[in-house]
Structures are given as C-alpha cells and as structure tokens.
Structure 1
Amino acid sequence: MASKVRFTVGSNVWVEDADVAWIDGLVEQVTGDELIIRCTSGKKVTANVSSVYPKDAEAKRCGVEDMTRLAYLHEPGVLHNLKSRYGMNEIYTYTGNILIAVNPFQRLPHLYNNHMMEIYKGAGFGELSPHPFAIADRAYRYMMNYGVSQAILVSGESGAGKTESTKMLMQYLAFMGGKVQSGGRSVQQQVLESNPVLEAFGNAKTVRNNNSSYMSSHISFVSQCSRFGKFVEIQFDQSGKISGAAIRTYLLERSRVCQISDPERNYHCFYMLCSAPAEERERYKLGDPASFHYLNQSNCIKLDGMDDSSEYIATRRAMDIVGISSDEQDAIFRVVAAILHLGNVEFVEGSEADSSVPKDDKSKFHLRTASELFMCDEKALEESLCKRVIATRGESIVKNLDARAAALSRDALARIVYSRLFDWLVNKINTSIGQDPSSKLLIGVLDIYGFESFKTNSFEQFCINLTNEKLQQHFNQHVFKMEQEEYTKEEIDWSYIQFVDNQEILDLIEKKPGGIIALLDETCMLRNSTHETFAEKLYQQFKGNQHFSRPKFSRSDFTIHHYAGHVTYQTDLFLDKNIDYAVNEHQVLLHASRCSFVSSLFPPSEESTKSTKFTSIGSSFKQQLQALLETLSSVEPHYIRCIKPNNVLKPAIFENSNVLQQLRCGVRNSITLIYFTGCKV
C-alpha cells in the first residue's frame, strides 16, 4: 500500500531501517518527492515519499486491541502496535475478526482458567480484550444461532504457539458443551486427554536454522512442535452439548524415528519410556537414552522445563481416560522399546559376497531383545533385515543384503512400525470417543504445521508447504474473493485490490498430469530410477516456469517460489519417502508375532506376497488435503494467526524483522483486506 499522504515539515513519519525494520522520525525538509527525516535514533536519512508512512503522534502507548482502529493501517503501524502490546504482556490483538496471537514463551495461567471462561461466555465479540476464548465463543454462538457448522483455523510457523492455542480452543468448547458426567469417561474429557497422548507420540523438539530467503535472521533456535497435522471435529447435539468427536491426522514425520539433527530430539515417548519407573525400564531392558542410536545422534537428551518421568506417568493417565487398556499400554511401550533396541543393531560384512551379519555381541543382544519385545523369532528377524526374497518366473531367489543395505532395512522396519503404531493410537482414540451419526453441527479445530524453510528441505517440507499453499488459497477465496463478489453484487463503489493468488503454484505442484507429485509418482514406478532422474524430469518440465527454478551448481535440487518465499528442496530422499509399503519380509514377520497387538499392526496384505504394489504418500496426502479443504469450504471459518516474536524462544523479546517477515507471509492479506473494506470484516 503505497503512501498517498502529503508530508510537510514537522510531519511524524515511519521510514525503513536496516536494523529495526521501521523507525520513526520527523520530516525536516521536503524537496519534491525526497524527504529528509531526523529519526528518533538521532540519525538523519533521505527517503522517497513512496516509501515513507505517516505516524499517529497521538497513538496510545499500550496500542489498540483491534487494528481496524489504528489511525493509519499500514505495515509499520501494525508492527508498532503489536510490539507496544507485547511489551505490556498483551499478547492478543484483533484485525477485524481475525485474532493475532504473539507467543509469550512463558506460562500465563491467569488468562486461561475457569473464571476467564465464565467472563467470555456469551460476551459480545469485541466487548472484552482479544482472546482465543472470544474466537471459540463466537464460533459456538454462530453454530447455535444459525445452525451452521464452524471451523477455527490456527496457523503460523513452527514455534509460534499453534498447538497451545488449539488446546485453549478445545478447553473452551469443552467448557461450553460439556455434559454432566454420570459415570465413566465423558466425551469432552476424552477429547481433551487425547492431546497429551498424541503429543507424546507426535511431538518433538526441533531445531530450525532461519537462513532462508524469506527470513532475515540467521540464528538457530529450538522449539517443541507437532510433527503431524491435526483436525479435531467436535460434534454437538441440538442443545449444544458435545455428543461425539473425530480426530484426523496428517503426515506424521516418520523419518524422525531414525534420523535427527543436533540439537533436536526424537519423539517424546522414547525419552519418557527411558525415564519410566525402574521396574518398567528393567522389563524393557532400557537404560540411559544416550545409549540408543536413534536418540544419541543429537547432544540433546534432556529438555529444559520438561520432566520426562512425570510426562510418562501423565501420558499413561491420559491413555486410561481415552480408553486405552493397561494391556494395550504395555504393548504400545513394548513396541516403542523394541524400536530403540532395533536401532542399536549394527551390521558388518558376512562370509558370503555382499552379505551381512550383526556386528558383535552388543548388536546380537539388541537384536534378541527386539525380537523378544516384538514376540517374533530372532532368526527370522535377522533374516528379514539381512536378506530379500525376489520372485522371478515362478521361483523365489534369496538375495543377500550388504551391511549398508541391512542398516537401511532396519531403519525402514523402525519407521513403518512407528507409523502403524501412531495410526493405531489415532484410530483407538476415535473409537473410544465415538462419533455421533445424528449430529448436524460440528466445530472443527485445525492445528497444522506452518510454512517451513530450512538449510535442508526434504519431502516432509515439500508436503508441509503444499499444505500451507492450500490453506492460503482457502484464506484468499474466503476472505478476498467472496468479499469482493459481495461488493459487486451489492453495487458498492470500490476499487479492485490485488492479492496473492497462488493457483499457479498449486498447479505446479499437484496438476495431473505433469505436476511435481505426478512426476514423482511416475519416477517411483520406473525401475532403476534415481533422484537425479526425477530432478531432470522437473528441469525439463518446468523450464521457464516463473514459480520454479534450478539452483546454480546443483545436480538435483529444485526451488519453488512459494507465496511466502523461495524454498530449495533436496531430492535425494524424495523417492524413498514417497513410497508407502511394508517390506514383504517385515510384513510376514510381524503379522506372525505371538503378540496380538503387534500382529494387528500388520494385517495380511491383499497383495501377492511375491510383489509389492506402489502406493504414493504424496498422492495420498494430496487427497487428504482435498478432503480437508472440502470440509473447510462447507463450514464458516474463523482465523487465529500465531506469531513467533523472536528466534531464541525467550519471553520479553520482540524482534521487529522476524515478526515483520511473518506478517508479510501470513497476516498481510487480512490487513490489506481491512484497509480495503473500510474496516468491514
């Protein structure tokens, strides 16, 4: 939004600054389109009038609760307002009906207790200070008053506080729609207690290096975040009471099970189990978590502010509430322990050519322990890791795997077991909670990964960023296109506002045929294909595409020009990560387990045991996203945009440049809309 204000000597203005993004000052001289400005920092700058914005000299020190009330709604005004409020520990601000939440990186329990929920209950929107409870109450009132299902979309990058905001929304909806418990576990209890269970198995501490083109900071920071997406549908009866629920999850980051970077952590459940009571650790033959390969690839074992021992007990308690029996819990953690032991099995060259065997007595111990925990035959487990059966013209040939291939086979088994375990947990929770087939009303809460761009971006980041492209388009369509269509229909005089329409980027990724996912699937199905083959297909297909480029000095990387910035992807693991199947030897081995739980994770395959049908994770995920978007399009949406104020994840620090990049990536369209509509949202 270019400035259209006429400045005079003495005008209060905002001017761009390399250090703090925007700085305020006074105009000292006007020469045509050139302004000389003395900044409050003391330095004097010359700037073109088109890059200078007016400052409200009478703005309140504590800012305004709703940015539609700003005298000047522009980038520096919005940034300064959020910073002013954050400095007063006011972490929530409205832009019309959209709530912006700036992560405080500290507990503020007084904001979220029952007393606060009572205050927001039934209050008119905007009458009280901005709060997630107000968004939840508004969604609930709309549902009850108009009989229309609702959804609350919580977005923001990793570390911005999406998961915590989601918990608060669910807490409020349970408060409003909870039934008096008459015995047993209530639906609202089970919905709330599903959070710690899924967090134990789907959350991890991650490291994020913000050195990408859309970030201005180059500081490494750590955060605990969900490594899966979650959409919770809470169903209500006609009286507004919770009658059922369903949890849908998306794209668990299964590669994390076997590979983490320093100083990341693996999924919380591994460390919890290693901190369980002594008799349980002894039963699973567990010791120091640092002794396990899948955990000690990083120097971070303990997490500040997190007591793994207490979290283990809390997770077991939550499992009780959501209906997971103690036998099932024991089986779950036996599988978790088996995965840890499996990761410690190393291989060396065997006596035959290109063969492999466990490296030493230590590896044999862990192999034996894993087989005991899986309740399968030890020799069969070893052979499933070290050999492959290849079917050719009616006969089967046993092929040896070398030490490197055996290690890859081991990791593949660990990943598929963990993935099946996570899916079992989600299905079990959904079965225990139960859905209400007669319900006509629901409120969905979406907590899904934010836009990601790291030093290394693999298949997971590709799928995550596709998600964000789809959600951004949904935001555009709902907020902009519908708003402008309404203005045209009502013959209101207005000027068309340009906004980022990312349909061409979505076509690049998911168009059939010829999109990136389609070309990936095609490459996966061809024998002897490599990631270089895949990359070359992309280079040929998208040569000249304005949203795609090939980085210099790269043989197989590619860059997509996303709505939020350019991201370069490394293709070396794309093919492996896109193929979803259990190795036949692993499938047969674990289906034959004497443990009914383990066996149930690997039901008989419908495919011939001599071949494995290729299933594309990318295409399956695309279909899941499409179903999610269809659901979101059928309900009335509400938005919460979460902002990470600094990259060191500490309270009371507000980094202007960091926040500004997030505003430009996610919130700018809503701000533009308010400016355009004259504060009508």
Structure 2
Amino acid sequence: GPGGRKVGVEESIVMAQPVLEAFGNAKTLRNNNSSRFGKFTKVTFDPNGKIIAASVISYLLEEGRVVSHEKGERGYNVFYQLCAQRQQKNREGKRQASSSYQTVFDPKNMRYLSCGGNTKVDGVDDYVAFQATDLALMRLGLPKTERDEIWRVLEGILFLGNVTFDEVERGAPCTIRESAKPYLSLASEGLGLGADRLGMALRFHTMGSPTGSIISKPRGAEHAADTRDGLAKRVYGLLFAWIVQRINIAVGAPESKQTTGDVDGMEAKYLEAIRENRTTFVGILDIFGFEVFETNSFEQLCINYANEKLQQHFVEHFFKLELEVYKKEGLDVKKVHYVDNGGVVELIEKRPFGLLPCLQDEGSMPGGSELGYLSKLRKAHQKSTIYHAAKGSRDMTFTISHFASPVKYTATNFIAKNFNKVSEDIISLLQGSSVPLLSSLFAEKKNNNKKSNTKKKKSTNDNASTPKNAQDDPNPLFDDRKGNNRRNRSSGSSGSGGSPFRSRLNRSGGGSGLSRSFGRSGSGRRKKKKAV
C-alpha cells in the first residue's frame, strides 16, 4: 500500500469496487452507472468467521461499447475520467514533452466517446472519479509505472478511434484521411507501435502462404474500419481481464496465491485452512437481467441464454428434486405447477441445430453467412413452438419464446460477433509493442498459437472465441460451489463468443448458496453502421 503500509483483504475488497466500476460500468438510458459485464464475487472466511480472501470472476464484458453505444449513452467510465484528468493537467500548464499530451482531451472530439451525443453524467465529476480510480489501483498494489501504462494504452485506444479512411478504388488499399494522420501518430505512441507499421496493418491483411511466402491483401475503407475497431475491442478486453487478475491477487484469491506461491498478506494458517477445505464462503452473482430491446442482437441472445440456464437450475433444484424427495419419503404433496424451460435451453445449446452450435458450424464454413444460418434453423425447427422464423427468406430476424417473454432477434453480424476475430498480423504487431503491459497481454497468445500449430495447419486468422483466461473459465454459478479452485489465467480474449460462453454455463454441478442479482440495467446495442 501507499507509504509501505500493508493493505488488508477487507480494504482491498473495498478498493476493487471503484476500479471495476471505472473499467466495467457505463451510462445507459436506464442507469447512469450500469455494469456492462457479469461477475461472481466470492468472499472466503476462516473457521472463526474472519475474512481471509476473496476472488472475482468476470465474464461477457460488452466489448462493443468500447467503439460504439446508443444515443444518450456513454462508453466505459474510465475513458471519460482519463479525458477529464488530461484536460485538467493541460489547464494547469503541466504538459509533458510527449506530443500526445499537447492534445486537448475533449470527449466530444473522440469518435469512440461522442457517438452517443452524451459525454457528461449529471452529478458526476469525472476528474474526481479519476483520482479515486487511480488511488484504488495504487491501494491494490499497482505501482505508478503500471498505472501509467494503463492510462497510456487507454489513450492509444481513444486516438485509434479517430483514425478514419477513404476508399480509393475497388481492389486498391484505402488511404488514411489527411485529417486523421495526427491521430494515427498519437494512437501509435499510446500503443507503443510504429505509426507506419500500424497504418500498414490497418490497410493491409498480411498472411503466410503454403509455400512460405508473405501475401499482403489490401483492405477497403470499411474493412480497415472494422479492423481498427476489432483491435480496440481486443486490447480493452485483455486489459480488463488483466485488471481483474490483479484485483484477485490483491484480495488474496486462493487460486492466485497457490498459482504464484505469493502468500504475502495471507497468514500461513489461513492458507492451510483453505487448502484443507476448512473454510466457508459467501458467493454473490451479479449478472445481466433478462433483456428485451427494440433491436436484440447476439449480445442479448447470450445474456438471455444465461438467464434461461439460471431459471433451469432453479427449477431443477427447487421443484423437480424437492418433489422427488417428498415422493420418496411418502409425503402427500399436491401437484406443483411450474414452467419448465428445458425446451428453450435445448433450442439454444443442443447439437447439432441448437442456435449456438449451429452458429459455430456456419461460421467455420467457407462462405458461411447469417442467411445460411437462418435457413438451417428454419428447416430444423419448422415444427417448433419455441423458435419462430421470419416469414421472408431474406428476413434476418427470428423470435424465441423465452420463459420471461418472447424476444425478436436480428441475426445481422451474428457470425462476426461470435468469432470476434483479429487477424494474426495484428496480433503479431501488438506482441512487439514497446509498452510492457500491452506486449505481455498478447505474449501467452503467441505461445498458445505455437502449441496449436503443432497439431493443425496454421490458420491465417486468430480465433478470439477460444481464449485461456479467467473470463473463459467455466461459469462459477455452477462450478465453484463444488469447492473447485480454478486458476486465474492472464491472457487471451474477453470476447463474448457463444461457444466458450455455452461451455462455461454447461459445466453444472450440485449445491446451492448463491445470492443472485438481476439488477443490471442497460439498453440495446445499435445496429452496426458503416464506419469509415
């Protein structure tokens, strides 16, 4: 802690809250500080009832909010906090020599922050909030060097959003707009990359051929803009996962302590109690509530699927199993009527034509498309009373009769959102960043690629839907009550791909004892616009 003072577990738990709210919360139409990710918080007690450790597992971060949000909403709080701090620093005349600090950090001038038309929240001082976030990070054990790297990377993301492109002609690489070139330099500086290399990576897709030669395929303006946004989302998602891991180390998460061997702040007898399973814990699950908006996309499908799994778990343990026990004991219990949503869960997850596995298969096929995906679903579920296809064969919508309410989904960009791919050349570029934090976030991805390439032919794209990190551990809603200690893994993507998300929810176990919170408010995501 500051001044060498030892920060206890209790204070670390308190300090984690402003950090998570800064990096994972945002203003929506319904809530000025809405959490845009799910989390499971576990507080562990020793046999005498003293808090000895805690842990946080996060999942399904809304990465799309980094690059766009609805009218009247904001991006993640931390971006506006950073801008307020940089503006204050400029007003005080404490500009640094670096050219990036000569820019006035007005959120209205940041494309990623101003797309909703609302950069302020009534009653919130973003500068004061920045001070609280930075202090909390310090109390959690992050030195100034690491905190400065966090702010630098966030600057790079913001400036990257202002890099725009012009189409030249069909088949030719797009060009970076003259007015956007200063932002390319600033983004490169923030991300620790060369401006020329970053510009080339955005405008060209470089890949290896079977013969070992290098092929560069030009990107058009729209494709370059998608690459830019994909890069920004991937970097932020990995940064968020890394921050969660650092929080777990600070609050004495048993998994992180046993993995690293660092027992500082946790007395040996407490660690022994944990290992001997002589502890108890309180688990709090804070997840997305059931979402129904004017436009419902892949994010809403995943969120509502999570709620369906929770409902199924509740029904099985509080109705089916209890009634079986009563029956075995010979108790005369009147028939209890309840809604069994097993059919909805099977519709979403069961192979081969469940919505998520079918989407995974369609996206893996050459030329796979949302229309092909919907066509397969239409044929497979034509007699279903739960799945309702649109009347027109070119209509991109379908409806599911969920336990809470029917929801009409729009399948546009389902495949892209499920895979959330960032090309291999972009990954390699970021691995060479001069910012130690950023390069380390992609270091394990490089190692994973080497291992996977020994088993199969090297792919030209990096699949972001199969990461190895805390967010992609099996959902603690079902697993952690068994007492399984899982490691927090630091790298990979925090993408919201349906395949790993389904895997996390499906590894279910027995037991109970979780407090559920369905209080997450928010608004729907807007349709993807042609952003160049």
Matches within 5 A, 1:670-681: none
* Equivalent residue, structure 1, for 2:6: 184
Q: Distance in 2 between matches of 1:514 and 1:242?
A: 46
* Equivalent residue, structure 1, for 2:22: 200
Shift of 1:468: 0.4
Shift of 1:286: 4.4
* Equivalent residue, structure 2, for 1:455: 294
Matches within 5 A, 1:343-422: 343-350=161-168, 353-360=171-178, 362-394=179-211, 395-422=213-240
Instruction: Please say which of residues 446-455 and 391-400 is displaced more in the overlay.
Output: 391-400
AA at the equivalent of 1:611: T
Which structure 1 residue ranges, 5 or more long, are not aligned?
1-181, 208-220, 648-681
- After superposition, the Cα gap between the structure-2 partners of 1:402 and 1:615, relative to the gap in structure 1 and judged at 3 Å, is closer
* Equivalent residue, structure 1, for 2:131: 313
- After superposition, the Cα gap between the structure-2 partners of 1:610 and 1:473, relative to the gap in structure 1 and judged at 3 Å, is closer
Q: Is the 8 A contact 2:282 2:514 kept in 1?
A: no
Shift of 1:278: 4.1
Q: Which residue, 86, 96, 114 being the options, matches 1:296?
A: 114
Q: Does 1:262 align with 2:71?
A: yes
- After superposition, the Cα gap between the structure-2 partners of 1:386 and 1:642, relative to the gap in structure 1 and judged at 3 Å, is closer
- After superposition, the Cα gap between the structure-2 partners of 1:231 and 1:528, relative to the gap in structure 1 and judged at 3 Å, is same
* Equivalent residue, structure 2, for 1:234: 43
Q: Distance in 2 between matches of 1:483 and 1:242?
A: 33
After superposition, what is the alpha-carbon deviation per residue over 1:602-639, rounded to whole angstroms, capped at 9, x for unaligned?
11253257633545421111122234x43xx3343455
* Equivalent residue, structure 2, for 1:574: 414
Aligned length: 447
Q: Which residue, 611, 617, 621 being the options, matches 2:460?
A: 611
Q: Is the 8 A contact 2:24 2:36 kept in 1?
A: yes
- After superposition, the Cα gap between the structure-2 partners of 1:351 and 1:576, relative to the gap in structure 1 and judged at 3 Å, is closer
Q: Does 1:587 align with 2:427?
A: yes
Counterpart of 1:275 in 2: which secondary structure?
Answer: helix
Q: Distance in 2 between matches of 1:489 and 1:510?
A: 32
Q: Is the 8 A contact 1:243 1:435 kept in 2?
A: no
Q: Distance in 2 between matches of 1:411 and 1:252?
A: 16
AA at the equivalent of 1:241: K
After superposition, what is the alpha-carbon deviation per residue over 1:105-127, rounded to whole angstroms, capped at 9, x for unaligned?
xxxxxxxxxxxxxxxxxxxxxxx
How large is the Cα RMSD of the aligned pairs?
2.3
Q: Which residue, 57, 67, 74 being the options, matches 1:248?
A: 57
Which structure has the greater CA radius of gyration?
1
After superposition, what is the alpha-carbon deviation per residue over 1:543-590, rounded to whole angstroms, capped at 9, x for unaligned?
111110013456121111100011111111111111144321211111
Q: Distance in 1 between matches of 2:498 and 2:364?
A: 13
Please report the TM-score for the alignment, with normalisation by the length of structure 2: 0.79
Shift of 1:224: 2.9
Shift of 1:600: 0.7
Matches within 5 A, 1:266-665: 266-278=75-87, 280=89, 282=95, 284=101, 285-350=103-168, 353-360=171-178, 362-394=179-211, 395-436=213-254, 438-439=273-274, 440=277, 441-553=280-392, 555-603=395-443, 604-607=446-449, 611-612=460-461, 614=463, 616=465, 617-627=497-507, 629-630=508-509, 633-638=510-515
AA at the equivalent of 2:76: Y
- After superposition, the Cα gap between the structure-2 partners of 1:640 and 1:451, relative to the gap in structure 1 and judged at 3 Å, is closer
- After superposition, the Cα gap between the structure-2 partners of 1:232 and 1:587, relative to the gap in structure 1 and judged at 3 Å, is same
Shift of 1:412: 0.8
Q: Distance in 1 between matches of 2:173 and 2:7?
A: 54
* Equivalent residue, structure 1, for 2:481: none
Higher strand share: 1
Q: Is the 8 A contact 2:34 2:520 kept in 1?
A: no
After superposition, what is the alpha-carbon deviation per residue over 1:307-352, rounded to whole angstroms, capped at 9, x for unaligned?
1111111111111122222111111111111111000011113489
Q: Is the 8 A contact 1:250 1:624 kept in 2?
A: no
Instruction: Please say which of residues 603-612 and 449-458 is displaced more in the overlay.
Output: 603-612
Please report the TM-score for the alignment, with normalisation by the length of structure 1: 0.63
Q: Is the 8 A contact 2:283 2:514 kept in 1?
A: no
Percent identity over the alignment is 35
Counterpart of 1:448 in 2: which secondary structure?
Answer: strand
AA at the equivalent of 2:205: R
Q: Distance in 2 between matches of 1:294 and 1:642?
A: 27
